[in-house]
A and B are shown apart, each in its own frame.
Chain A
Amino acid sequence: MFYREAGQFKTSYAADQALLPIRQDRIGLGLILLVAFVAVPLLASDFFIGSIMIPFLVFTLAAVGLNILTGYAGQLSLGTGAFMGVGAYACYKLTTYFPDINILFMVLLSGIFSAAVGVVFGLPSLRIKGLYLAITTLAAQFFLEWCFIRIGWLYNYNDSGAIEVPQRKLFDIAITGASASPTVRYLVIVSLVALMTLVAANVLRGRIGRSWMMIRDMDIAAELMGVRPLYAKLSAFAFSSYYCGVAGALMVFFWIGSAEAEAFDINHSLLVLFMVIIGGMGSLLGCFMGAAFIWILPIAIRAVPQMLGLDVIAATTEHVSNIIIGVLIIFFLIVEPHGLARLWQIGKEKLRTWPFPYSSN
């Protein structure tokens, strides 16, 4: 009733295969982009942009990366944090070697290093599946973390052992480093995330994305349709790690400003994995929902007592918010194990058939 495609006839396959075939979806996306690119930079406070929106977008990108691998290609990975670290350290090394080259180019280039590392650690996927594969990616996690600590060359033998982001400019405006304003950093990140999400959507609906889903759903049949498991799995690892690598570089250069190896530890990997599971495996929309759920919701809950004028100790709000988040995760996984994206989809179907309980197709 409220959301239906009545009257929107498709007369060509091109129109039928569009990313958003339904007009209401296109309007909705347009509004979201308008808010993201215009309203937020103009109206939001520095705290909102710097501590909520930027981390949310960084995690979204990492979740897109992991979702491509786990949700679309069916290869479970616990090494997301380490792959993000590879991107961050690669970007740091690149920009200190070539300080004059545009940092955005370096961010995109550093993903390539992460992709290469991802392919190497993806090799076991040709032989083992599921949880066992997850264990081997865990090896990647610990090995790479060890590299970040022990190989001084990676952080230019800094005394602190951390990588510190130098100032870099785009069109004479500082976009990284201490003097870059949150709004500028936000605009860089939101542009990159929007662009890379579009690229992911394009790849996923084409031949390559289909070959990943074939491998995920039935590898034997996929091989019989001519998909080479070697190519399909390793390309999924490469593509996914590229996204994680770029997310890692963005995280250090545009969000936290400096990072030690601990920033990319196993907790970080698990956090991204939870985002993918809560948001919905095999859904790009789910990556945004999952990242928002895990990152924004706790902050929102913690802000509630303040807004109500209650005098509660910070530690108490922290604990209460942890409890609430935990309960919500359990609740959502029981209501819909396939994540928030599926819940949203079911909601849309209900809106479509309302006021009837079911539709004829």
Chain B
Amino acid sequence: MPTGKQVSVDQYSGSTADQDRSSMDLTASKPVSETSRQYTTELLSIENVSLSFGGVQAVTDISFNIMEGEVRAIIGPNGAGKTSLLNIINGFYHPQEGVINFRGKQRRRMKPYQAAASGIARTFQNVALFKGMSTLDNIMSGRSLKMHRGFLWQVIHLGPARNEEIQHRRRVEEIIDFLEIAHIRKQPVGRLPYGLQKRVELGRAMAMEPELLLLDEPMAGMNLEEKEDMSRFIIDLNSEFGTTIALIEHDMGVVMDLADRVVVLDYGKKIADGTPTEVQASQEVIDAYLGVAH
């Protein structure tokens, strides 16, 4: 039975596999037991985090952790503070109180690009693709942090700069194959239907080879078939490449099937945390979703 540690050594995630990346095959499958997964290493932990905007308390004293290799769902009614929480992890918002530990180290106050450099990728609730660019360029943009050739090489665009471009193109093509979007490779993403845009956005985040992937409502507004496709990509991403995933989603069927553990928020407070079955049984969660008789 694979432990979380072993999963993290998988080629796709983690800094341990840097040398192997060029030869890596995204379609190679590594069997991971679905039934009883155990995680031993803590990837991210949030301790007593509070965030307020003026008088509005967005997030109040929340603590939870994300283990390496798991799928962690964050759910809650509208306005519960889920997206704010992702924005805190991303470095967009800076909590007034609390501590964030990432990979065992306490994280200082950081900017979003620093969070990206530390291995956190993200997709957005409203698709935030680069609309003027093609699918290929959008996914290539996810490789930005991994490309290093300087300005003068870019100017002549020969030798090392071109090789770097081609080497990353190869990786991007693997992602395109994985997500089955080869037919829209050269199309401007602004013209694509919504479901495909969401998929391209996932590809863009995958291209960063993140250790922690934050998905903000990846299935919002999708039909059943698109949801099933997206679920399959998320499962494959997690089980084949060991990418740790934190997921916000309103479709409870999807959450209960995909997530290893679920944290439930309501009015900025944590009201439940545990496996899907535990959370489903919690009276507080039922009250939050269905309301309480007064």
Contact = CB atoms under 8 A, between A and B. Distances in A.
Contacts of A266: none
Nearest to A14: B166
Contacts of B92: 220
A202 B149 CA distance: 13
B155 interface: yes
Given A225-B144, A361-B183, A17 B112 contact: no
B42 interface: no
Given A17-B162, A217-B132, A227-B144, 8 more contacts: A206-B149, A206-B161, A207-B165, A214-B141, A220-B128, A223-B112, A225-B141, A225-B208
A226 B144 contact: yes
Interface of B: 90, 92, 111-113, 115-117, 121-122, 124, 128-133, 137, 140-142, 144-145, 147, 149, 151, 154-157, 161-162, 165-166, 169-170, 173, 183, 187, 204, 208
A345 B145 CA distance: 32
17 contacts: A13-B170, A205-B157, A206-B157, A207-B147, A207-B149, A207-B154, A213-B137, A214-B144, A217-B133, A220-B112, A221-B129, A225-B142, A225-B144, A225-B145, A225-B204, A225-B208, A226-B113
A228 to B, nearest CB: 5
A12 B162 CA distance: 12
B188 to A, nearest CB: 10
Nearest to A238: B151
Q: Is the interface of B mostly helix, strand, loop or mixed?
A: helix
Contacts of A12: 166
A218 interface: yes
A186 to B, nearest CB: 25
B190 to A, nearest CB: 9
Contact of B151 (A14, A208, A218, A226): A208
Contacts, number: 101
A213 B128 contact: no
B133 A213 contact: yes
Contacts of B113: 223-224, 226-228
B128 A221 contact: yes
Contacts of B130: 213-214, 216-218, 221-222
Given A207-B144, A225-B145, A226-B116, A217 B154 contact: no
Contacts of A209: 154
A141 interface: no
A17 B165 contact: yes
Nearest to A213: B133
A346 to B, nearest CB: 13
A87 interface: no
Contacts of A268: none
Contacts of B116: 223-226
Choose among A221, A282, A361 the residue with the greatest number of B CB atoms under 10 Å from its CB.
A221
Contacts of A224: 90, 112-113, 115-116, 121-122
B87 to A, nearest CB: 10
Contacts of B162: 14, 17
A203 interface: yes
Contact of A226 (B133, B145, B156, B173): B145
A314 interface: no
A70 B133 CA distance: 16
Given A207-B144, A224-B116, A216 B132 contact: yes
A202 B156 contact: yes
B169 A218 contact: no
Interface in A319-357: none
A312 interface: no
B145 A13 contact: no
Contacts of B173: 13
Contacts of A202: 154-157
Interface string A191-205: 000000001001101
A210 B136 CA distance: 11
Contacts of B169: 13, 17
Contact of B111 (A17, A221, A223): A223
A211 interface: yes
Contacts of B149: 206-207
B263 to A, nearest CB: 22
Contacts of B154: 202-203, 206-209
Given A17-B169, A225-B208, A210 B157 contact: no
The 8 closest A-B pairs by CB, nearest first: A217-B130, A202-B157, A226-B145, A226-B116, A221-B128, A206-B154, A223-B112, A207-B147
Nearest to B147: A207
Nearest to A204: B154
A281 B111 CA distance: 31
A211 B121 CA distance: 17
Nearest to A218: B128
A206 B165 contact: yes
B166 A17 contact: yes
A95 to B, nearest CB: 25
A218 B142 CA distance: 13
B122 to A, nearest CB: 5
A235 to B, nearest CB: 8
A93 B140 CA distance: 43
A153 B145 CA distance: 45
B144 A210 contact: yes
A320 B92 CA distance: 56
A230 to B, nearest CB: 9
B151 to A, nearest CB: 7
B163 to A, nearest CB: 9
B177 to A, nearest CB: 14
A93 to B, nearest CB: 26
